[in-house]
Structure 1
C-alpha cells in the first residue's frame, strides 16, 4: 500500500503539478530515488498513525460505553431475578402458618400479615436500583426474621449489633438477606434451635463490615448448595465493586462464619 501510494502520489504530482517532486530538499530529487521514497513513506506513516489513533480512541469509547450499558443491564437483570428468587416454600409455609393462626384466632395472625405485606412491598416496589439504604435492608432482614419467629416460635434466637452511622449508607439490595436465608435453610433442622449473631460495622474509611455467625448442621448436599450461593454472591459483588471487596466464609464444627467487607461511600 505504501509503495502504491508513493507511485500514485509522486507520479500525479510529477505529471500534473511540477517536475520538482521534492522542492523542500536541498538537492533536486529524482523519481524512485531512495531518499525521496523514505521521505514520502515517513510522511504517510505519520498520517496513518494519526488517523489510526483517532479511530482507536473512537472504537475504545464506543466499546467502553457498550460495556457500561451491558454491566447496567446485567445488574438490572440480576436484581429482577433476585426479586423472583424468593423461595416458594417460604411463602407456602408462611401462608400455611397464617391459616393455622386464623383458625385458632391467634393474635399473631395480623402481625404475620403485616410483616409479609411489608416484605412484599419492599421487594416488589421499593427496590428499583442497584443500591438500597442499609437501614431499610436491616428492617427488611428484621421482618424476615420476625416471620420465621412466628413460624418456629422460641426456636429462633437472633441478635443484631450495629456500630457506626448507618445514615446515608447504601448497599446492594437483597444481598445481605440471601446470607440470612441460608441460616434458616442450613441451620433449622428437626427440632433444633437456631441461633444467629449479626453485626453491621460502618467504618470511618467508607467501608461496611458485615459478620454473620450461626449454628450449622453439616451435610455434603448442604455444603454444596451453600457454596453455590456464595459463588453467586461473589459474582454479583465483583460486578458491582470489581476487586474492592472481601467475602470470606468457613465452617468450624457446627458453626458457620461469614465475613463481608464492601465500600459504601
Structure 2
C-alpha cells in the first residue's frame, strides 16, 4: 500500500493527472505482485538455491517478456492508447527502447522486494540460529553439570554405610550434609547462574562431609573481600576445583590444607583464589583432569574469552586463579 501510494502521487504529480496515475497503477500493481511472488517463491527456491543460475536467468527473462506483453496490452486497452507517455517522442509497441524501459522498471520492483524478503528471512534465520545455540548451550551446560560429582556421592554413600555399621555418631551429621547438597543440586540449580552465597554454603557442606570422611584431617580457610550478596556464578563450578584439592592433595595419613579467597572488584569481576598442598603422584591417575576440563568448557560457553583461569604448582602447593565477570 505504501509503495502504491508513493507511485500514485509520484506519477500523478509528474503528469499532473492523478486519474491517469491511479488507473495505470491499478493495472500494473497486480502484475508487479504476480511477478514478485513467482520470483520469490518459485524461481529463487527452485533455481537460485539449487545453484542453477543460468536456468534462473532464462526463466526470469521469459517472465519479464510476458510481463511486458500483458502490461502493455492492458494499459493500451484500459488506460491509454499512448503506450509510453513518459517518452519525449511517441513509442511503438515492441520497440527496443520501450521493452528495455518496462523491463528495467520491473527489475527495480523485483530487486526491491527480493531484498526485503532476503532481509526478513535472514533475520528469522538469525533468530532461529540464536535460539538453537542457546538451547544447545543450555543442554550442554546441563549435561556438564550432571558429570560433576557422581563419584563423590558414591564415595559418600560408601562412607555412610561404613559409619552406620560402626554405629558412629557422625552418621546423622553426614546424612544431613549430604541431604543439603542433594537438595541444592537437584532442586535449586536450574539456570546458568547461582548465588555465590549458596555456592559457598554448598562448598562448606562438601568440605564438612570430606572432613568426616578423613577424620578431621582437613583444614579449610576462607576469605571474602567486598559485598558478595548479589554476586552470581556458574552453579557447581567452584565445587569441581575444591574436589580437585582432595583428589590431588590428600596423602595417606597426612593433612590437607585449603585456602580460598573471594574478592569482588569494582570493575565488575569476581576473583577467586584456591590454594592447597598437593601430591604430584596423583596427577597421573586416570580421569584426574575431568573436573578442570568440565569447568573450562562451561566457562567458554558462558563467558567466551571474557575470563581468566590459571593454575600453577609452587613448592608442592597447587594454586588456582579464576577471574570471571559478575
Please state if 1:96 is matched with 2:158. Answer: yes
Cα-to-partner distance string for 1:190-210 (whole Å, 9 max, x where unaligned): 333322221111222322112
1:16 aligned partner: 74
1: CA distance, partners of 2:150 / 2:297: 24
Cα-to-partner distance string for 1:127-186 (whole Å, 9 max, x where unaligned): 122211111011001100111111112322222111111112211111111111122122
Contact 2:249 2:256 (8 Å CA) reproduced = yes
In 2 relative to 1, CA 99–69 (structure 1 residues): closer, same or farther, beyond 3 Å? same
2: CA distance, partners of 1:45 / 1:181: 67
1: CA distance, partners of 2:90 / 2:287: 82
SS at match of 1:153: coil
Residues paired across the two proteins, number: 262
1:61-100 paired onto structure 2 within 5 Å = 61-82=123-144, 84-100=146-162
Contact 2:307 2:322 (8 Å CA) reproduced = yes
Deviation at 1:119, TM superposition (A): 0.4
Contact 1:13 1:21 (8 Å CA) reproduced = no
1:122 aligned partner: 184
TM-score (norm. length: structure 2): 0.70
User: What is the Cα-based RMSD across aligned positions, in Å?
Assistant: 2.8
1:163 aligned partner: 225
After TM superposition, the structure 1 stretch with the greater mean CA deviation from structure 2, 212-221 or 166-175, is 212-221
1:1-265 paired onto structure 2 within 5 Å = 1=57, 2-18=60-76, 20-30=82-92, 31=94, 33=96, 37=100, 39-82=101-144, 84-219=146-281, 221-222=284-285, 225-226=288-289, 228-252=290-314, 254-264=316-326
Cα-to-partner distance string for 1:217-248 (whole Å, 9 max, x where unaligned): 3356359742x543432332232223322222
2: CA distance, partners of 1:4 / 1:171: 62
Is the radius of gyration larger for structure 1 or structure 2? 2
TM-score (norm. length: structure 1): 0.84
Higher relative contact order (CA 8 A, sep 6+): 1
Contact 1:141 1:177 (8 Å CA) reproduced = yes
* Runs (5+) with no aligned partner, structure 1: none
* Runs (5+) with no aligned partner, structure 2: 1-56
2:46 aligned partner: none
In 2 relative to 1, CA 82–6 (structure 1 residues): closer, same or farther, beyond 3 Å? closer
2: CA distance, partners of 1:160 / 1:221: 29
2: CA distance, partners of 1:59 / 1:68: 14
Contact 1:216 1:255 (8 Å CA) reproduced = yes
